Amino acid sequence: MDDCFTVSDEIKALREKALERCAEAFAAAESVAEKTSQRVLWAFQSEKVQASHLRGSTGYGYDDSGRDTLDRVFAKAMEAEDAIVRPHIISGTHALTVALFGLLRPGHTLLSVTGKPYDTLDEVIGIKAGDGSLGQFGVHFDCVEFAEDGSVDYDGIERKLDESVSVVFIQKSKGYQDRVTLTSEQIGEICRFVKDRRPDVCVMVDNCYGEFTEPHEPTYYGVDLCVGSLIKNPGGGLAKIGGYLVGKKWAVEKCSYRLTMPGVGRESGATLDTLSDFYQGLFLAPHIVLQAQKTAIFAAAMFELMGYVVRPFCDDERADIIQTIVFEEKEPMIAFCEGIQAGAPIDSFVTPVPWDMPGYSDPVIMAAGSFVSGSSIELSADGPVKPPYTAFLQGGLTFETASVGILRAADKVLSLSRS
C-alpha cells in the first residue's frame, strides 16, 4: 500500500488483524476452488475440447460444433444433464424470463418459496404493470415468505402447493433482502420436499452469484433447472455478455423453444466471436470466484473490526459472493461505495451517486469500475439508499487488487466518522 496507495495507519493496523482472522476461511474457500476447478477441467477433457471449438459461427449458426460442445462442457461442469449457453441472453433477468416463459402456461401458478424475487422480475411476473407479462398470459404468482427465524417455511410451502402450481421458484442469493443465502444442499432439501408431494412440479433456481462457491451446484441435488448470467461467476471475468440455463434435459429443451422459436430451439443461433471468451472464462471461473470470495471474507473481517454489522461473518459458510455491510446511516454507505469506486481499474475517478435505476422502487447507488459493463464478478458495491442503509459488495478479479478497494472504502468511512 505504501508504494502506490495511501491509507491511515489505523486502517493498516486493522488490515493485519483482519488478515489473521481470515486465514481459516481463506483455506476453506481454496479447498472448494480446488474441487470445482478440477471438475471444470474434467468437463473440458471429457468433451475433447479442441482449438476449432473456439471459433464461432455467423448467420443462422447451423452446425456450430463449438456452441454445442460448450453446452455439454457447461452441463458437466455444473453437474447437470444438459445446458444452453448463449450470447443472446443479455442478463440474468433475461435468462430467468426465458425459463419462466418456457416452463409456464396459461392457468399455471408460479410459486416462489423464498419470498418475492428480485425487483427486476416484477414486470416479468406481473407484480407491476408490464406489457407482455406472465400475468397477462394468465399465469398466476404466489409466494411463501421465510419463517420468522429466517428458515424456509415448509408448512407454508405445503399449504400453497396446490394442483395449479407448475413451477416452484427458489432464489439462492439474498438479492437486496436481509436474509441468509441458501446453500445448494438446503436447496436440495426444498427440492426433495416439493417432489415428494408433487413429482410433476418443476423446481427452478435463480443461481446468480452462487456458481462455484460450493463443492456442488443445486443441480447435483436434483433441481430441474438453474439459470444465471455469464457476466457474474461462470464467465470468469472474460465473458462480455451472455447467460445460461442448465439442468434436466426436458427442462432445458422446453426453454430452448422460448429462447429462439418452436420447432427450432437450440439448433440455431450464431455465436460470432464469443466462444473463446466463454470457454476460457468458464475454465477460469472457479479461480476467479475464489478471488471474489476472499475479497468478501476480507471485507467482512475489516468492517466487523470497525464495529459494523456484517453478513455473513468472515468465518461463516458461504454460498455466494455477496457480502453485506449495514451502515445504519446514508452518509457512510455512500462513502463506502465511493471508496470501492476509487479502488477500481476503470473509472476510478468517478464519484457514484444514488439514482432512480430502472426496475427498482428506491434510489440505488452503484460503484463499479469494470472492464465489462455491469459485471458483478468484478469488484462492485451497490444497494438501495434506504434504511438500514445496507451496502451489497460482490466481485473482485484478483484479491490483491480488490483488497485495495476494501481498504480505501474503510478509510473513507473511518474519515467520515471523525469529521
Structure confidence by residue, pLDDT tens digits, 377-413: 999 999 999 999 999 999 999 999 999 999 999 999 9
Contact at 8 Å (CB) between 253 and 220? Answer: no
As given in the structure block, the three cell numbers for residue 187 are 436447496
Amino acid code (one letter) for 107: G
Contact at 8 Å (CB) between 92 and 232? Answer: yes
Tell me what pLDDT residue 2 has.
Answer: 57
Tell me what pLDDT residue 88 has.
Answer: 97
Tell me what pLDDT residue 1 has.
Answer: 53
Domains in the chain, start-ordered, CATH in brackets?
A: 9-38+283-418 (3.90.1150.60), 57-272 (3.40.640.10)
Beta pairing class for 165-171 and 109-112:
parallel
Measured distance CA(207)–CA(193) in Å, rounded: 19
Name the stretches of the chain with pLDDT < 70.
1-3, 359-360, 419
| Backbone φ, ψ for residue 74 (5° rounding) | -65, -40
pTM of the complete model: 0.95
Measured distance CA(395)–CA(405) in Å, rounded: 11
